[in-house]
Structure 1
Amino acid sequence: MEKTNRVLLVDGMALLFRSFYATAMSGYFMINSKGVPTNAIHGFVKHLFTAVNTFKPTHVVCCWDMGSTTYRTELFPDYKANRGEPPVELIPQFDLVKEVVKELDIPNVGLERFEADDCIGTLAKELSQHSEVLILTGDHDILQLLEEHVSVIILKKGYGNYAVYNEELFYSEKGITPTQMIDLKALMGDSSDNYPGVKGIGEKTAIRLLQTHGTIEGILDNISSLTKSQRQKIENDLDMLHLCRDLATINCQVDVCCTMEEAILNIDLSKMGKKFEELELKNLDKILDL
């Protein structure tokens, strides 16, 4: 049955960081007359409005990380420890972008000790019961959330360029299901999130093992059928394998909620205009096709 509501869940940090680095590399920070950089906010709004124009959601929610300390860093202190401090020009834009989102009457959702992904996962599970859910991000980790009424829009270079994934496209590209992606990352690790997986097991081997045995449990139940080298690697790193699966799993049961009423897309153009004027964000209202 076709679902009439279409909810766009926005990965706020993914859009903000992408927008910042798109212009920061050339030293263009769009400093306004108050001395505040706005390049990330400007790009964020442009990405958001372009997606709204393209996918025509009836509802929009924006999810955020709430600091670098999470239950994952408690489990594994090296989690994301390879990432430096955010650039000084980006720091004031973290709070300001949320003010902009608020003035667009779009809910800002985030929870201490959890990542935006966990909030997105929880809302996607809940809202997909009665609505079509689209997740806007640049982060491929979120592809594990794909299911019948949940699609993932991956931002590509520029504005309005997307790879739109459903379960079928993911399977045809990867040869595994979206939920198997969690075990894939547990086996091969993730250098961007800084966890190792099983030393010596790469993506191709991990995919082959999952295609044959289904899950990590299936692999362990059939460990005697693996090559001596594979068996040794997995046995040597068994604890790390289980830990990495916990790190890779998006938690879809965190304590966040957002009602459909709160999320309905209803932008007040005068409120939006005042905020844009205050921050000196130019030409953005022209993109919004409401």
Structure 2
Amino acid sequence: MSKRVMLVDGMALLFRAFYATAVSNYYMINSKGVPTNAVYGMVKHLFSAVREYEPTHVVACWDMGSKTFRNDMLESYKANRSAPPEEMVPQFDLAKEVMEALHIPNVGLAGYEADDCIGTLSHHYREEAEVLILTGDQDMLQLLEPNVSVVLLKKGYGNYAEYTEERLKEEKGITPKQLIDLKAFMGDSSDNYAGVKGIGEKTALKLLHQYGTIEGILENISALTKAQRSKIETDLDMLHLSRDLAAIRCNVEIDFPLEEALLQVDEEKMAWKFNELEFKNWRKNLI
């Protein structure tokens, strides 16, 4: 049987599950006073995707604290994000405990984001396995390459948008690497960096279709409109910084052997953990 590894963006699944129920103040607080709504939903997302895509191997990747090397590049990186809701906080560790109970390895590296771990592992694994990246984050589309696909979570459970290099080219007319340059122009309000003020997706795409890269655009800057030229020249330093911030690193110091990620759920251990957390109707609703 050929190998298919699913790299799970743990934070993306956890936050999506939390906010899906938190809007109605449904936190699933157990008898110990611990909320479990995010973990329950994360597991539901995970098992839905495992049923759909039948991976042979699964790895969960996580952020390891709020400060990363990107904060050294830009102090205000992600500084506009509020602290997670108090009902969310105890569920970070619980989520990793549940992954362990499912024999799914947790991978993270201090100073880097989960994205960088996913990028690095996808790069490592693509030679020996088909790689699927399960996330809700469109930034991951820059990781598309031969043998690497991105599965974006859509609303509800079991709904996905599956991306390959070819689909991205059909939709946007650009390559995965050009997505980094696109984001460099547009900036990212959720990550709190500006890009080039006044140049949005439409203009940035047009320029990238015409000139290929930021370097190609700068080499032909005299051919741009006066307004475009002025905006780029004014924010040139931020353009380069934004590209560096947007680029997912695929060479971080992690080397996790694929064979250690073989998906082998221990039903006894899983049942013990789910019952400890007081998940209701988990046999019917989760697996």
TM-score (norm 1): 0.97
Aligned twin of 1:155: 153
Equivalent of 2:216, from 204, 215, 218? 218
Q: What is the CA–CA distance in structure 1 between the aligned matches of 2:244 and 2:145, rounded to whole Å?
A: 20
- Name the counterpart of 1:43: 41
- Equivalent residue, structure 2, for 1:264: 262
SS for the counterpart of 2:189 is coil
User: CA 1:203–1:114 in structure 2 vs 1: closer, same or farther (change >3 Å)?
Assistant: same
Contact 1:50 1:287 in 2 (8 A): no
Q: Which moved more, 1:279-288 or 1:141-150?
A: 279-288
Residue segments in structure 2 that go unaligned for 5+ positions in a row? none
Whether the aligned pair in 2 keeps the contact of 1:49 and 1:287 (CA below 8 Å) is: no
Percent of residue pairs bearing the same amino acid type: 67
Aligned counterpart in structure 1 of residue 51 of structure 2, from 53, 69, 78: 53
Corresponding residue of 2:163: 165
Matches of 2:279 and 2:75, distance apart in 1: 39
Please, which runs of 5 or more residues in structure 1 have no aligned partner? none
Kindly provide the CA deviation profile for residues 212-243 of structure 1, in whole angstroms up to 9, marking residues without a partner as x. 11000111111111111111111111110110
Contact 2:43 2:286 in 1 (8 A): no
Cα deviation 1:132-165 (Å, max 9, x = unaligned): 0000000000000011100000000000000000
1:25 paired to 2:23: yes
Equivalent residue pairs, number? 287
Distance 1:122 1:115 in 2: 11
Task: Please tell me the root mean square deviation across aligned C-alpha atoms, in Å.
Answer: 1.1
Q: Relative to structure 2, which stretch is displaced further, 173-182 or 5-14?
A: 173-182
Superposition pairs of residues 169-208 of structure 1, within 5 angstroms = 169-208=167-206
Shift of 1:287: 5.3
Letter in 2 for 1:66: M
After TM superposition, list the pairs within 5 Å mapping 1:108-147 onto structure 2.
108-147=106-145
State the 1:285 CA deviation: 3.4
SS at match of 1:285: helix
The alpha-carbon deviation at position 17 of structure 1 amounts to 0.2
- Greater mean deviation of Cα atoms: 41-50 or 225-234: 225-234
Q: Distance in 1 between matches of 2:124 and 2:231?
A: 39
In structure 1, the partner of 2:32 is 34
